[in-house]
Structure 1
Amino acid sequence: MTNAALDLIGDNVDVALRMGVRGDLERVERKLSPVDWQFCAGADWIKGKGVPASLKDITEFISPASDLRMFLEHFVLGGRELPTGMITADNQLMIRDLALSGSGVALLPSGLCRDLIKSGRLITILPDIPIKAPVLNLTFPSRADITPRVRTFADVLAAQFT
């Protein structure tokens, strides 16, 4: 597992989970589900710092690595820039846990923080910022390369999203 955008053919990858449509003729993409994103901070951080009123008011941002950051700014935030990162991490689970521990504000996929928000441990902030939900896709190098084993794995995984 990696967050890096690998070359499926060159890196000999059977299947990848990727957000957004790439439109490459060498790939086959199977749409799974839209991925909603939201800004969150730990309850203790909110108690100590208050609720930011805008992106510009966020002084302690936990930033994703540059490739995901650019994707989020372009496809999720519609061209708006994320705040400067006080911390940068290349793993969304780590970013979620840093926000949970009071290290700052994070932009997270809703599925990673839903239960923590329900429990009150994470707080949703900036709900008025328009956020687009890119589609999560199963991506294959090409139709010819899909083995029965990979097809079965893809079918089982896709069933989890229906």
Structure 2
Amino acid sequence: MPSSLSTQALTEFCAVAANLSFARAAEALQLHPSVLSRRIKALEASLGTPLFHRHTRSVTLTEAGAALLPHAQDLLSRLADAEAMVARFSAEPTGVLRLALPTSFGQIAIGPLLADFRRAHPGIELELSVSDDYIDLVEDRFDAAIRIGVFASGAGLKARRLAEIPRYLCAAPEYLARAPEVNVPSDLAKHDLLHFSPLAAGPVWKLSESSREVEIPVRPKLAADNAVMLRQAALDGAGIALLAGFLVDEDLRSERLVEVLPAFRPQPAHVWIVFPDRPILARKTRAFIDFLVERWKAGPPGANVD
């Protein structure tokens, strides 16, 4: 049996209880007094008890009406809170969105998307920190960061993994033509190696063959914290580099670079979006996450989707 306590009925009951007058309550609700009176009588009939004592110039609550009133007010208040919460998802996000991006990935994979994001969300202003330095999102008041590698949860942060980026050992054909052959990982010790220094605390390259992992100690001829510079050094024939797919996919397709030891691929890197762990995620941050997920359904440049 459907309940007679609809939102409309509770709203009208509370209005009469607040005004202690059908006329004043009807005016507040923009109803004719006779319509409101008829509806309250119908509510009382459905409940099987009167809610108001009716006097010549005013009304007062009955015992049943007084018992119902706080529950009705609480229900209407919670309903209003629920509607406000849902409205946050439908309203256009606004405000300044502060993002921390790694240098190379930020420039190549995210930079080309920013104009489209701004067109989709004109109320959001962007502030970007493009650096490979670690940024404390909470202390430095950033809304989100893109990070590549292993995400350590905790420290007041949450994360969503967006994609998996393959990495390659690669070198220019002219370098390989003059250098010793590379048939097994141990042959790398005979070569000029180009190392991206933030990849690990120690100079070790981890390669995988099926389920077997091989660790190769690296004595780099060139180490740098900028992957774009290492890519250029590899293109110039300076040696063998370990680089992410988003940097070298086109070079490998065009054979400007050649993959070395394809049977021993470096472990892939994961792309994460990291944000402070708060009860409600800001709409502007949610908008950016949803935008990346939608645009990267097939993965960012050089990536494999989870």
In the aligned structure 2, how far is the partner of 1:156 from the partner of 1:8? 20
Q: 2:199 aligns with which of 68, 72, 78?
A: 68
Cα deviation for residue 22 of structure 1 reads 1.4
- Per-residue deviation, residues 56-107 of structure 1 (Å, max 9, x unmatched): 4332111111x31348948776571342111111112221111111111111
Unaligned runs of 5+ in 2: 1-129, 298-306
Q: 1:110 to 1:71 in 2, by over 3 A?
A: farther
Pairwise CA RMSD: 2.5
Q: 1:15 aligns with which of 131, 135, 144?
A: 144
Structure 1 match to 2:235: 100
In the aligned structure 2, how far is the partner of 1:112 from the partner of 1:138? 19
For the Cα contact (< 8 Å) 1:38–1:109, is it kept in 2? yes
If each structure's helix is expressed as a fraction of its own residues, which one has the higher value?
A: 2
Cα deviation for residue 114 of structure 1 reads 1.0
Q: 2:175 aligns with which of 45, 63, 81?
A: 45
Cα deviation for residue 8 of structure 1 reads 1.9
Structure 2 match to 1:153: 288
Cα deviation for residue 145 of structure 1 reads 7.5
Query: Which of 1 and 2 has higher RCO (CA within 8 Å, sep 6+)?
Result: 1
For the Cα contact (< 8 Å) 1:76–1:133, is it kept in 2? no
1:123 and 2:265 equivalent?
Answer: no
In the aligned structure 2, how far is the partner of 1:161 from the partner of 1:75? 27
Secondary structure of the 2:215 match is: coil
Query: What is the identity percentage for the equivalent residue pairs of Structure 1 and Structure 2?
Result: 23
How many correspondences in the alignment?
Answer: 161
Unaligned runs of 5+ in 1: none
TM normalised by structure 2 equals: 0.47
Secondary structure of the 2:248 match is: helix
Higher-Rg structure is 2
**Higher alpha-carbon deviation: 86-95 or 12-21:** 12-21
- Per-residue deviation, residues 107-159 of structure 1 (Å, max 9, x unmatched): 11122111111101000001122533232111112234743222212221222
In the aligned structure 1, how far is the partner of 2:171 from the partner of 2:206? 22
Secondary structure of the 1:85 match is: coil
Secondary structure of the 1:107 match is: strand
TM normalised by structure 1 equals: 0.84
Q: 1:157 to 1:43 in 2, by over 3 A?
A: same
In the aligned structure 2, how far is the partner of 1:71 from the partner of 1:112? 23
Q: 1:101 to 1:88 in 2, by over 3 A?
A: same
For the Cα contact (< 8 Å) 1:31–1:135, is it kept in 2? yes
In the aligned structure 2, how far is the partner of 1:76 from the partner of 1:136? 19
- Per-residue deviation, residues 19-48 of structure 1 (Å, max 9, x unmatched): 223122511111111111110001221122
Which amino acid in structure 2 is aligned with residue 112 of structure 1? L
For the Cα contact (< 8 Å) 1:30–1:138, is it kept in 2? yes
Secondary structure of the 1:143 match is: coil
Cα deviation for residue 11 of structure 1 reads 2.8
